[in-house]
Amino acid sequence: MRRLTLDRTKSILRSMAEVRVVVVGDLMLDRYITGSVERISPEAPVPVVQVEEEACAVGGAANVAANVVALGARCQVVGCVGTDFHGDVLRRELEALGVGLAGVVNTPDRPTTVKTRVLARRQQVVRFDHEDDGELSAEWLGRLVDAVQMAVGECEVLAIEDYNKGVMAPTVIRAALEAAAQAGVPSVVDPKRFHFFEFAGATVFKPNVKELEEALTQPVRHDDPEWMEGVRQRVGCEFLVLTLGERGMAVRGKEQQMSIPTVARSVYDVSGAGDTVTAVIATALAAGAEPLEAAILANHAAAVEVGKAGVAVVTPEEILSTVRSVLAD
């Protein structure tokens, strides 16, 4: 599959409204404090931000879920939140989006992960992270395993979004991938360095260049089919989807390799683009797309997302518009 037609795109996007997706991973709350800077503090050489607006949004694996529902699919998340104010806010935000929370485990001894960004003149001044990224206790991991097994049995695709915040321990990873294999549904993994090689058996393994270089401790050779096949076999996936930023993607299957050039017309903010790619690939696979088709659609979706300010979601209409404009060129 080297060309995605407009009719095929429409068919896949329509089918997305009929699928159920389970997203497993690190749930986060993103806080944004926006204001203006007119002076430097007399107390220290730092800008004084006059706060004008505060807002919250879902982040991490929760942002993958937000992208899934924006595509029209149903979604349930599996992860943990603290029994604190920010955990309540995160739950409300997800509920407002229509995301199922049956798989969310409350951890009273562990805070909700919160990233607070202070912005002035559309530039980030500083970021504060409140988190505990140690591995969860055996009790909470056991509850997550139970939640994963129940959720995956009721879905058409599994998406794993690992942010190294403790949820994706090896026991949870194994339980999730084994449940997907037993249910006969595809799995899409966005890995991070701590457990990079723990995801053997995934349908799609989607690192970016930096993550892959750090894991392999060598430069990436994405244009070398033999090298890419060696990596695919080492991580144990069916399809390796390597995201290359402004260069697009490189996709490697057992007997095929494809380069997908970027279609972004402008890049405003790359925040959240990886979450969008994970969501689109997973939802497209559940809707009947081939892995290469799913990657092409995700590439179009990423082009839309990076043209927006901050972490954003992408709709089927926006993807279709981008595909149409590229085919018309």
Q: Which distant-in-sequence residues (6+ apart) come within 8 Å of 30 by Cβ?
A: 56, 57, 58, 59, 63, 114, 115, 117, 311
The sheet with strand 123-130 has its strands ordered as: 47-60, 27-40, 113-120, 123-130
CB 48 within 8 A of CB 56: no
Q: Which distant-in-sequence residues (6+ apart) come within 8 Å of 156 by Cβ?
A: 19, 20, 21, 185, 286
Buried b (16+ CB within 10 A) or exposed e, 90-119: bbebbeebebbbebbbebeebbbbbbbbbb
Q: Residue 275 catalytic?
A: yes
Q: Where are the alpha helices (DSSP H) in the chain?
A: 6-15, 61-70, 85-97, 138-152, 170-183, 209-216, 225-235, 273-286, 291-305, 316-328
CA distances 65 to 16, 51, 100, 292, Å, are 14, 30, 9, 22
Catalytic residue (one of 84, 162, 275, 329) = 275
Which residues are tagged catalytic? 275
